[in-house]
Chain A
Amino acid sequence: GAVVSQHPSRVICKSGTSVKIECRSLDFQATTMFWYRQFPKQSLMLMATSNEGSKATYEQGVEKDKFLINHASLTLSTLTVTSAHPEDSSFYICSARDSGFANYGYTFGSGTRLTVV
């Protein structure tokens, strides 16, 4: 089945630094990927939709300049948290959409636990 690889699984960074999270679709091409943020005991909040070769579409209230998204190929999207602060600490999850109807669905990465100290 479809597999999405997300790295790193955990990262600790100092306040003010930037962190890059990678999301790769391993066995299918994903023209669209999604980035979510999840706080403890809460649901997933969609941050942005990443389209290969074009600019990402951000949800209302998400800072474009803080959460930089790049989707340079059909199998890779990256999320960079710039100038991270403790309030950015969270669980970030990516998802890739397989658009073929028979396989239509959204496959999720294993998530990245970001801790900003």
Chain B
Amino acid sequence: KAGVTQTPRYLIKTRGQQVTLSCSPISGHRSVSWYQQTPGQGLQFLFEYFSETQRNKGNFPGRFSGRQFSNSRSEMNVSTLELGDSALYLCASSSGAKETQYFGPGTRLLVL
């Protein structure tokens, strides 16, 4: 079974721009969660989607948003990028029954 895939793998943007990242979960998984990883703050939860509905949200500003489609694929959007948004953005999927989350390879975002 194929793992979680994320696109693009690398991205360079400038301050003030917006960016959209994509995540395809493991086949059959309906829950998709997003995390931000930085050297200073470590791994932090952004939000979780299940059946196209946001089920949980972390402590991030409204510039961070997401959505999930009917095929469980998910996107996250960051508007008005700031230098501090430079990070590895990780997507994880899990099945409805099990809580274990399986992570994708991440998207490395650099904001200049």
| B is bound to A | no
